[in-house]
Structures are given as C-alpha cells and as structure tokens.
C-alpha cells in the first residue's frame, strides 16, 4: 500500500478552546463553552468526527451522482450515533440518512452510497471496523 503524509495543526488558545488548521490552511474553532467564558464556543471534537465522516461520504456521493449525470438539487446527511458512556467514550454505532432532492435514480443513489461507504471515504474506512454502521436514503420533493 502506497501512502502519503498529510499535516494539520491544532493550536491551543485558552481554556478548552483550540483552532484547528487543515493541510490547505483552512481553520475552525474546536472546543466547548465554559460557564465563565460564554463567548468561547467551537465544534465539539467528537461532533467534529461525525461531521468529518458525513462530509467525506457526501463529497463522494455528490461526485458520483454528478459523473452519472444525475440531477441532484440538494443533499443533507443526518447522522445518528451511539456513544459509550464509559471512558474513552468511543462511538459504538453510526447511522447516516441521506436526504436528497432531485430526479435522482434510486439505483444510482444506492450505488453512490455503497461506493462511498465501502470504497472511497477514508473517514468511514477508518471508523467502520470499530463500530456498527448503517445507512439509508430518502428522496424528498
């Protein structure tokens, strides 16, 4: 297996607040609100993991549907996850519900999901061995 190195950076600001910067230089606030610092809010790290998984898969699904000339108008991914209440609090199950708009062929949507979830999404490839993963889709009007 061939690999490549990727570097990101996390910088501590104060309290429980950090700034994460990806390999392209894009940044976001990570952390949580403390009662004595109500203005200090960022994305919770474990929520960020769920968002990473959803966005990785959604990226693939959109790309696959576009290549298949499917008229996708909108895509949302609702993520439900069960997390252990014992340290280190791992996720034990993950469920994606893709909600799409457009005259998309259901078979092509199913295939796009399958390709993303089983072949292309690096985040799911990392997470899936440690948890139960399920998914579904709904075509909305």
Read off the pLDDT band of 40 (50, 70, 90).
Answer: low
Mean pLDDT across the stretch 2-30? 94
CA 126 to each of CA 36, 49, 104: distance values in angstroms, whole numbers, following the listed order:
36, 11, 29
78 and 35 in one domain?
A: no
Q: Which domain holds residue 11?
A: 1-43
| Whether 134 and 73 share a structural domain | yes
Tell whether 50 and 38 lie within a shared domain: no
CATH of the domain at 78: 3.30.300.20
Residues 62 and 91 placed together within one structural domain of the fold:
yes
| Whether residue 63 is found in the same domain as residue 108 | yes
Residue 67 and residue 136 in one domain: yes
Asked if 30 contacts 10 with a C-beta cutoff of 8 angstroms, the reply is yes
Tens digits of per-residue pLDDT, 112-122?
999 999 999 99
28 and 3 inside one domain: yes
Q: What total of structural domains would you count in the chain?
A: 2
In this predicted structure, the answer to whether residue 41 has a pLDDT above a threshold of 70 is: yes
Q: Note whether 51 and 30 are same-domain residues.
A: no
Query: What's the whole-model pTM score?
Result: 0.90
* pLDDT band for position 14 (cuts 50, 70, 90): confident
Say whether both 68 and 37 belong to one domain.
no
């Amino acid at each position: 297996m061939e690999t490549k190195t990727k570097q990101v950076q996390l910088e501590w600001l104060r309290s429980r607040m950090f700034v994460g910067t990806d390999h392209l230089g894009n940044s976001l606030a990570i952390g949580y609100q403390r009662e004595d610092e109500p203005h200090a809010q960022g994305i919770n790290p474990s929520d960020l993991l769920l968002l990473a998984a959803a966005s990785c898969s959604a990226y693939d699904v959109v790309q696959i549907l576009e290549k298949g000339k499917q008229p996708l108008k909108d895509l949302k991914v609702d993520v439900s996850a069960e997390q252990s209440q014992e340290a280190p609090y791992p996720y034990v199950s993950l469920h994606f519900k893709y909600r799409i708009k457009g005259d998309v062929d259901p078979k092509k949507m199913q295939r796009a999901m399958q390709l993303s979830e089983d072949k292309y999404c690096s985040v799911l490839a990392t997470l899936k061995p440690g948890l139960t993963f399920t998914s579904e889709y709904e075509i909305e009007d």
